[in-house]
Structure 1
Amino acid sequence: MFNAIGEKLEEKAMINFLQRFDANPFKVKFQDNEYIIGEGTPSFTVNMKEPIPVSKLMSSTSIALGEAYMDGTLDIEGDLYDALNHFLGQMDQFATTGDVLNKLTHNPLTKKHQAEEVQSHYDIGNDFYSLWLDDTMQYSCAYFEHPTDTLYEAQMHKIDRILKKLYLKEGLRLLDIGCGWGFLLIEAAKKYKIKGTGITLSHEQYEKFQQRIKDNHLEDYLEVRLMDYRDLPKSGLEFDRVVSVGMVEHVGRQNYQLFNDCVDSVLVKGGVFLLHFISGMDEKPGDAWMSKYIFPGGMLPSLREMVADMTEDNFHVLDVENLRNHYNLTLLAWDKNFRAQLPKIRETFDERFIRMWDLYLNGCAAAFYNGMMDLHQILATKGINNDLPITRWY
């Protein structure tokens, strides 16, 4: 009797909390009761096996709802992406206490700890990523020149666009910081005959890239190293071009200037630097659930702070491009592939992992759609370079 009454009180308290997300109507169903939040016909239904304590929702709305979905306590009747669009479009109504964010975002920035954080995500396994990425094995924002582009075509467009921005020529030395599985450098070597070096902290990516170099007979053009960007200044390496795609988000806010300093240390005068990164509108810590489960230690730079840090090293910004909507389409394509491969994924991973990953892909797609995150490419030169075209040649 007492437990039943307590559960009803928690149910009512949860509904009172959810009333803040009333911009568009949705239904909440418990075992014995259902409620409508907002006005009009509900576009989706939140099915609850048991109420989430308001204390958890107030401590971190993101973690409380995310963990409930992962555990199967909360399920969505309808389209998960549409539901997340609804909630993330009202992100200002989420609650997160300072101590929760501090524990998740104030991680040690040592080389050892940051390597462990990177490996926790990227070393899940090449077999896993190959199931739902396209054949290029690119785990970053694609570029959709046409609405009908396949994911593979859009990823090829992205690489082509980046390589054109770098204004490559035969024999130039190109460094890729956070090179992933190496496709960008492979294409650069094939198309432009550059001399390329990729660095990564992921053992899985390192081994796959090494094999790809051999398979493509590019040993005379490319090399990959297991290397921290902070080791670049003492490496003795020198490059005409530097590119970094989706890596700076992992270095920590305190290290953004250091990251740019390290690029400066190996780039020749007049050299070209392209930085491709997920950015936030301001310098907030980020989402608690994402920090806890997906990208431990991850932090989104704002565009303004990254440009300011680049300016400290006398980088002259030539161009800034926002590919936010392209990342929304990329993530939706990944999730479609992910869901299509669920029978194979279930052979290795449990249901909680699968629900977590599905939530991650759809949640990020919704976050880009709602402008909570942007995807910027900054093109800059080290000092003045008057030899490059004066129009956007790409």
Structure 2
Amino acid sequence: MNLRNSGHLILFRLGDASVSLFDRGGAGRAALRNYQIQTVGHMLSIQEFEAIERPQSHSYILFTRGAPYVELGWEVYRKFKHAVDSVLESLGERFGVRIYQHDYEFLEYADVFIWWFSFKEEDDCKRVGVMNTLKAEVEVLFQSFEGMRDKKILSQHEQEFYIDPAFGIYYSELVVGASFELKHIQAPVKKTHTKPDLDLAPFEQPIRVDDFKALIGAYVSHGSMEDLEYFNAPSGFFSTRRSADGKAPNKFLREELLPSLRFINHQKIPDSAVLQFGLEMDNFDLKVIDETKATIVEITWAAPEGDFELLSWSDQRGVSNFPMKNLAKLKSMADSIPAKIAGAIKRKHDKNYPDKRTLLVVIPIEYTYQGERAFIEEMLKEVRCLVLGGKRNFDEVLLLCGKKFFTVFQN
């Protein structure tokens, strides 16, 4: 399906009936009336759904050549986003409404993204007025940005709003969850899984690469129910829970040992090489010693404010999408990543290490469309403009996202 020229009806099956549910006109929407939308623990009729939807306003801009940040390029995106934020702030002051911005990656089609504007207003006339004003004022901005001149804002009552059934399912969840917000739930202090804590003793002394790989590989395997329980428990892999000796083995595993393992594999370090870990006691994180040289690696994370809340939200949402208010927070968090990377590099520059080192900056994959290469490459263009002096005293500056490495600065 070509989304740039999609004007035909979309047919799909509901039960034994073939239904033209989402099309460019109102007839597709009307077909919903004899069917139901299933939400968690409850079946909604179309009448109930429309009653929930009535006070809501949802509109979007469609991007068909990648995420807005990628399609526009980081510099134009920042300028456009700043202009949009100013319009929404002004609308909030004039009309007393809060307008949420959030993103949606259309996984059914390559490089298709949606930039949403959502708000709630019980007064029908006021809601329509706010929507029309939002549309008019944001679309005026389009003319000032070359990459936006062929775009428009579509709202839920316009003919072209519905793209296909998958979009309809997402939109239904967006409407039903619009009044909710997932809150952070503090992880339990007590251990809630049966897997033994990672023994840090082997990493307190020099260890061969092959032994290190074997230890970490065995511990993070998914070979048993105990392993699966560990990765899903509130006090497990993603927690910062401390053991009886005051150490935080899960945190050290995530933030130091696993990035070290990725680095060793990426650099093809021989199994006979020896590793030393700083364990927060030395002025280095990792030292790799082989027959010819010693390489010091400084590992630092660049996570957005509130990153610790994401796991709690994920546990609560189950298989559904995040509610609108959480999606708005996630967009803000993702937008902050380039500045967080730049800040992490600058802080390490300020250390003025006397020796040569490799700086490895790690970012969570959840804010990068699961490690989308084009998105990260665009982020690094912005980072390079934010960091004066490049690598400075480091041999190189690398970025790790998931299992993917990127060069930020090198010789």
> Would you call these one fold, judging by a TM-score over 0.5?
no
Q: TM-score, normalised by structure 2?
A: 0.26
Q: TM-score, normalised by structure 1?
A: 0.27
Q: Which has the higher helix share?
A: 1
